Amino acid sequence: MDRMEKLNILGDAAKFDASCASSGSGRAGKPGQLGNAFSSGICHTWAADGRCVCLLKVLLSNACIYDCQYCQNRRSNDIPRATFQAEELAELTIQFYRRNYIEGLFLSSGVVRNADHTMEQMIRVMRILRETHKFGGYIHVKTIPGADLKLVEAAGLLADRVSVNIELPSSGSLSLLAPEKKPDMIFTPMRGIETMRRSALEDGKKHSSAPMFAPAGQSTQMIVGATGDTDRTILRLSGGLYQKFRLKRVYFSAYIPIGTHPALPPRETATVPLLREHRLYQSDWLMRFYSFTADEITEDGERLDMEVDPKCAWALRHPEFFPVEVNRADRETLLRVPGVGMKSADKIIEARRFGPIRAEHLRKLGIVMKRARFFLTAGGKYEGEARHDHPFLRELLTDRYDNGQLSLFGDGNKTPRLIGSGESAAPPASIPQQPALPETPSFLKLMNA
């Protein structure tokens, strides 16, 4: 098999790894249009300074000895297999880099022979790049579950970002769909990476020449919708991972029906729960930057509200918190207002130093008034007819109204209609959910054990 054949197989196999923020898009080029997007091959990530970086996203091998039922590369799946030699993959990366196709490498792999052997080969690729070719570009490496911690350490000294995929959100799902993997194969390296990273940071403060360890931090990926794990379980686990192991990111990946196990959604399931994935990302953002907890976001049930975003859903459940007066509220309170982001909260606080804020100033401060007008007052006044106790408030906040204008006046007993469209406010089709799994020790408990 030549390199291009291997690249086709292993680039395509890597598309299921979601640890790059823009890797899920696939769009064919059309005559008369410029460009296209492939869900495999080259993906984008963002450097700490906000720059977008193109990465060659590839597996070292898809000849996996494990049989994780949700995975395309499981040993029982009849697909073409390929494995790169470390030298081949390093050479390919350098060739692509020299041609300006990529600025870095995202390297993952199935488990070939055993975890340590695979990890050694991945380290070899990075070592050739860093030491032989003096490659200074970005490298994101996935560690192999069960690999020796010494190898994880060697990987962290060569890569910018290291990740350990948690894949499933509970020990029940893991033992059902990936019984060869045990929770400690995931949490031991996560804990080890955090310890090594902290110690490298301490060393770096004392000696400027101390080696860096995974300077871009660690991340993980969780598959959503393969099993009956609820949004509350997923968000509590994410919150625990951020706190316990200081993860940079938890990536959510909507399950693509590729497995045949009876516990998985049937292969013919057409709906990939992308909306659910989107709501989880919104909730994750609230936890990381807006001081919300997983329990606050899911306080009214196990599942997230699919009709309104999680911040609006929280605001609807807490009318006692509103309205917030823009001239008096502290930053933390402002951040609870739908439509007020971190930048606009800071601008509000800055603007207040020069005088009272009036309703006409709000849009100029970057506030999304489409949502904020129901929850924010300036000098005691709402904008226009908006009020936080508006009878159609929920309908007005649904994503379905984003591009339409809804009359603020009307009969509170009738379903609101989009002006001009004649469309009624029918709820979106419900998102298929797998049946809930029986109680098992949660990952949170095992993580803290």
Determine the Cα–Cα distance for residues 378 and 194; give it in Å rounded to an integer: 45
Of 69-77, 238-246, 344-352, 375-383, the window that binds ligand SF4 (rule: CB under 6 A) is 69-77
Structure tokens at 447: 């993580």
Determine the Cα–Cα distance for residues 166 and 160; give it in Å rounded to an integer: 19
> What is the rounded (10 degree) CA torsion for 196, 200, 206, 207?
130
Pick the closer one to ligand SF4 by CB: 110 or 273: 110
Of 67-75, 276-284, 323-331, 340-348, the window that binds ligand SF4 (rule: CB under 6 A) is 67-75
Pick the closer one to ligand SF4 by CB: 185 or 294: 185
> Binding marks (x or -) toward ligand SF4, 263..302, rule CB under 6 A?
----------------------------------------
Determine the Cα–Cα distance for residues 125 and 286; give it in Å rounded to an integer: 37
The CB density around residue 133, as the number of other CB atoms within 10 Å, is 15
**Does residue 110 bind ligand SF4 (CB under 6 A)?**
yes
Q: How many residues bind ligand SF4 (CB under 6 A)?
A: 9
**Does residue 196 bind ligand SF4 (CB under 6 A)?**
no
**Please, are residues 244 and 447 in contact by the beta-carbon 8 Å criterion?**
yes
Determine the Cα–Cα distance for residues 198 and 203; give it in Å rounded to an integer: 9
Identify which of 237, 267, 252 has the alpha carbon closest to the alpha carbon of residue 69.
Answer: 267
Determine the Cα–Cα distance for residues 432 and 315; give it in Å rounded to an integer: 26
Of 63, 66, 279, 373, the residue at the interface with ligand SF4 (CB under 6 A) is 66
Least distance in angstroms from the C-beta of 79 to ligand SF4: 11
**Does residue 141 bind ligand SF4 (CB under 6 A)?**
no
Of 7, 18, 43, 71, the residue at the interface with ligand SF4 (CB under 6 A) is 71
Pick the closer one to ligand SF4 by CB: 121 or 398: 121
DSSP code for 392: T
Of 42, 92, 111, 437, the residue at the interface with ligand SF4 (CB under 6 A) is 111
**3-class SS shares of the chain: helix, strand, coil, % to 5:** 40, 10, 50
Identify which of 227, 278, 219 has the alpha carbon closest to the alpha carbon of residue 255.
Answer: 227
Of 20, 55, 60, 68, the residue at the interface with ligand SF4 (CB under 6 A) is 68
Least distance in angstroms from the C-beta of 382 to ligand SF4: 51
Least distance in angstroms from the C-beta of 111 to ligand SF4: 5
User: Which residues of the shown chain bind ligand SF4 in the complex (CB under 6 A)?
Assistant: 64, 66, 68, 71, 73-74, 110-111, 178
